[in-house]
Amino acid sequence: MRYFVGKIRLLWVVDMPVQNAEIAAMFDQAAELLEIGGENQFRVRAYRRAARVIEGLPKAAGSLLKSGRDLSELPGIGKDLAGKIADIVKTGHFGLLDTLKRKLPGELGEMAALPGLGPKRIKLLYDKLKVRTLNDLRQAIKTERLRELRGFGPAIEKKLLGALEKPQPARRFKLSVAEAEAEALVGFLRGSGRVVVAGSYRRRRDTVGDLDVLVTAKDGAAVGDSLAKYENVAQVIAHGPTRTTVMLRSGLQVDVRAVPEESYGAALLYFTGSKAHNIALRGLANQHGWKLNEYGLFSGKRRIAGATEEDVYEKLKLAYIVPELREDRGEIAAAQAGKLPRLVKLSDVRGDLHVHSDWTDGTVTIAEMAAAAQARGYEYIALTDHSRRVAMTHGLDPARLARQIREIDRLNEGLKNFTILKGIEVDILRDGSLDLPESSLAKLDIVVAAVHSHFDLPRQAQTERVVRALENRHVSILAHPTGRLIGEREPYDIDMDRVISTARKAGCYLEINAEPDRLDLHDLHARAAKLAGVKLAVSTDAHSVDAYQCMRFGIDQARRAWLTVNDVLNTRPLAELRKLLKRRASVRG
């Protein structure tokens, strides 16, 4: 279940614009509650699919409606769902969700967020043990009544009890959700002065705890007065002459600070962080007898730098360090030595190597996915629909894959300056074998292997499983290598050092999945792969044409991992990409 801020508890007033993430969260929660109530699975899947479509829209649903866009034309959104979206935008409420919440007893909705508890198990707990609340669940575990039910045992008991008893971590938001809030807020404050969002958001971390916003304004109190009137504000926490703190409807806290122009660079540097990076910079300043803080770089009482970040770095005899690298992971020494990498950019990407179509669980045809990619300036995509193991996606068996190969060949004959590579996202089975025969895989340009089941295998078994798959001579790329879903599913227990080592020896590549819920590999593992000599593909896992826009989130993580153009597979022209894929095959013989 994809909760927006844990569970839906939002403060609404008339005409407050609704973010796409809020609509998606409502649809997701409705799907979860419908499934708990035993509703038809087609209806449940329709809401989940619609949630993904809305979440991936390039503009707010409200803006699209104002421009006259018929939302029923979107893939997976019919007249009925389009009407519901319009009602949510207009009223801030989803009537079906409100009804389901009233009907659902106790805290069954909250239970769905616990590990190992899907809708079927929750319904079983309620029907057989009358478990209605989280406290009921605790008591059922402690009295070992859970073991009376089929499918529950000591392992699940231990996992559930641990989740119930551990302190809840500070709330963090996916980068994509924070970005939507940040861009709307910057648009609102524009005119107050120069506006920039700092903090972990500017460093493009995969999750964001809060937003630190700087505004160059002489009258900070007036900026705060304006912010307090912002329609997305649910609560004003503090309001002072230079700083105002608010809580947005989504639960995201925002600190807005007014800073003078002469301190702008120093303040931006300080509030961007990270804390470790700032401490290292202050240490360098101290070596010169200077003092560095959010107001500037000072020699005694004289400000010697601070209007721009570049001035501060130059005065400290450092090359400018981009925000994505400011984590105190060697960037200071690299800047001193003039050896900072020239990081990969979004404009360097020439294609997408993980794309789906309506042959499985995508929303549009292969031709439409190709046309949208070509419109973005890409030279190629790899069409990688699911294999048969993922039955709910109508995965391809050998016969359907053969038909798809013929369809791609036909489409390629009519394309100019663009190529659709024939591929598959093949399931890695529990024992490490692949979901399709080698005779089918041998016909493809690229094979993306992925784990979609048995996430709870012990570390050694999970590692052996993936290693065996990578050693298969047909596998090109390991997709979303740790299986995490941010805020929903922890990475499975796997020895990534061994996976990276195997990929290097086998001539495989690893993926940075740019889907905002995944961003997998994360930056630390991606950098470890780079240092081991393993190249990475930054791919969107796009299931719709709108999802191509998520490539920027993958490039953010690639930059945080110190990746250059040479480290990223899909920055290559097609001819060079084909050579790399052939070289991969020759490495494994």
- What are the backbone angles phi and psi of residue 517, rounded to the nearest 5°? -75, -15
pLDDT of residue 112: 66
Query: Which run of H or of E encompasses 400?
Result: helix 398-413
d(CA 327, CA 170): 20
Q: Which of 2, 30, 44, 38 is nearest to 124 (CA)?
A: 38
pLDDT of residue 74: 80
Which CATH number, 1.20.120.1200, 3.40.50.150, 3.40.720.10, 3.30.460.10, labels domain 173-336? 3.30.460.10
pLDDT of residue 45: 83
> What is 346-588's CATH number?
3.20.20.140
Query: Which run of H or of E encompasses 438?
Result: helix 438-441
Superfamily of 20-165 according to CATH: DNA polymerase beta, N-terminal domain-like (1.10.150.110)
Q: Where are the domains of the chain?
A: 20-165, 173-336, 346-588
d(CA 557, CA 452): 23
Whether 499 contacts 466, CB under 8 Å: yes
Burial per residue of 534-560, b for 16 or more beta-carbon CB atoms within 10 angstroms, e otherwise: bbbbbbbbbbbbbbbbbbbbbbbbbbb
pLDDT of residue 168: 59
Query: Which run of H or of E encompasses 513?
Result: strand 509-513
Predicted TM-score (pTM) above 0.85? no
Which long-range contacts link 363-372 to residues 24+ away (Cβ below 8 Å)? Answer: 363/49, 363/53, 363/75, 363/76, 363/543, 363/544, 364/75, 364/544, 364/545, 366/404, 366/407, 366/408, 366/411, 366/420, 367/411, 368/545, 369/542, 369/545, 370/411, 370/415, 370/418, 370/420, 372/545, 372/548
Q: Which residue has the tokens 């809708």?
A: 119
Q: What is the pLDDT along the chain (589 residues), one digit of tens a residue?
A: 333 333 333 333 334 567 787 888 888 878 878 877 777 788 888 888 888 788 777 678 888 888 888 888 787 788 889 999 999 988 888 888 888 877 766 666 667 667 767 777 787 787 888 887 888 888 888 888 888 787 787 777 777 887 777 665 678 899 999 999 999 999 999 888 899 999 999 999 999 999 999 999 989 999 999 999 998 898 999 999 999 999 998 889 999 999 999 999 999 999 999 999 999 999 999 999 999 999 999 999 999 999 999 999 999 999 999 999 999 999 999 999 999 999 999 999 999 999 999 999 898 999 999 999 999 999 999 999 999 987 667 899 999 999 999 999 999 999 999 999 999 999 999 999 999 999 999 999 999 999 999 999 999 999 999 999 999 999 999 999 999 999 888 999 999 999 999 999 999 999 999 999 999 999 999 999 999 999 999 999 999 998 999 999 999 999 999 999 999 999 999 999 999 998 655 555 4
d(CA 399, CA 550): 32
pLDDT of residue 284: 97
What does the DSSP 8-state code read for residue 71? G
Q: Which residue has the tokens 């935008």?
A: 89
d(CA 263, CA 218): 12
- Residue 287 identity: Q
d(CA 478, CA 426): 10
Q: Which residue has the tokens 């179509």?
A: 357
pLDDT of residue 586: 56
Whether 583 contacts 553, CB under 8 Å: no
Name, in order, each residue with C-beta under 8 angstroms of 211's C-beta and a sequence gap of 6 or more. Answer: 178, 181, 182, 185, 197, 199, 201, 252, 253, 254, 255
CA-based R_g, the chain, Å: 25
Whether 442 contacts 474, CB under 8 Å: yes
d(CA 284, CA 164): 45
pLDDT of residue 111: 73
